[in-house]
Amino acid sequence: MANAPAGGITPTHDTGTRATQVFGTLAALGVAWLCAFGLLFSPADRDQRESVRIMYVHVPSAWVAYLAFGVTAVASALYLLRSSHSLTWDRLAGASAEIGVLFMGVTLVTGMLWGRLSWGVFWTWDARLTSTAFLFVTFLGYLAVRRLGGTQHQRAKRSAVLAMLGVLEIPLVHFSVRLWRSLHQDATVARIEGDPDLDGLMLFSLFVGLIAFTLLYVWLVIHRQRALVLEDALEAHGLDAALVERRAEAALQGGGR
């Protein structure tokens, strides 16, 4: 945050505010707490032994990726449906998708490490793994579409449609372990049968992970959304400057005749 000295206002040179400081601090505390519980305090699993500790970062990463893509779809729908077509919704969608791709990427990598210990291979074309990779590639494509040419509103419209289609893959990914025969284990927390199938301290550690990762997501989205505001402002200023320059050139040419 910029300080305002006596007699003048110092320009703000970052995207931080009191809110981001609070979320950032809470997220850092949550991560420290997660590492303590995930690596030290929680017990080893009867079947998976120490490798179960990967679950405390793998499952929250996947949860945040789903959350991020869900937020992208909702923000995209709000951009399209509201008569104002505010670019604020588009920026929120773009920021959330980028962070969702990051978390989906780490979900895939941690899943591969866990898979190597559980199944003996880093990768197999299993229904859950393949559908997760497909979701990851879909939102990578979404980020590529956002970089195509055109006005800000053209970008917003085409990417909003893609986000609303892409988010439909999430139920497919989540229920893939039930729809097809899968190596991947079934849900242990959000179970149709009811109570979570986890030891109390393991469940608590996983809960800590979910809270910490959600706080990290909120902190990152706020910063990224503000960075997108800056990018759009610079683009608009660049366009304004180019127009002024072109008008000056035209005036000079007109005066010279």
Residues of this chain that interact with other proteins (CB under 8 A) are 2, 9, 11-15, 17, 31, 35, 38-39, 44, 49-51, 53-54, 57-58, 61, 102, 105-106, 109-110, 113-114, 116-117, 216, 220, 223-224, 226-227, 229-231, 233-234, 237
Tokens of 29: 């505390």
Identity at 84, one-letter amino acid code: S
Identity at 54, one-letter amino acid code: I
- CA 101 vs. chain centroid, Å, equals 6
In contact, 124 and 180? CB cutoff 8 Å: no
Distance of closest approach, residue 168 Cβ to other proteins, in angstroms: 26
Closest CA to 134 of 69, 76, 210, 186: 69
Distance of closest approach, residue 2 Cβ to other proteins, in angstroms: 8
* Measured CA distances, 27 to 55, 121, 169, 185 (Å): 19, 33, 29, 29
Q: What is the dihedral of CA 66, 141, 221, 53, to 10 degrees?
A: 50
Q: Which is nearer to other proteins, 11 or 256 (CB)?
A: 11
Q: Which is nearer to other proteins, 12 or 185 (CB)?
A: 12
Distance of closest approach, residue 156 Cβ to other proteins, in angstroms: 18
Q: Which is nearer to other proteins, 128 or 224 (CB)?
A: 224
Closest CA to 53 of 223, 257, 217, 199: 199
Distance of closest approach, residue 14 Cβ to other proteins, in angstroms: 5
In contact, 103 and 64? CB cutoff 8 Å: yes
In contact, 129 and 123? CB cutoff 8 Å: yes
Distance of closest approach, residue 78 Cβ to other proteins, in angstroms: 18
Q: Which is nearer to other proteins, 106 or 164 (CB)?
A: 106
Distance of closest approach, residue 251 Cβ to other proteins, in angstroms: 26
Q: Which is nearer to other proteins, 143 or 164 (CB)?
A: 143
| Cα 111 from Cα 114, distance rounded (Å) | 5
Q: Which is nearer to other proteins, 53 or 128 (CB)?
A: 53
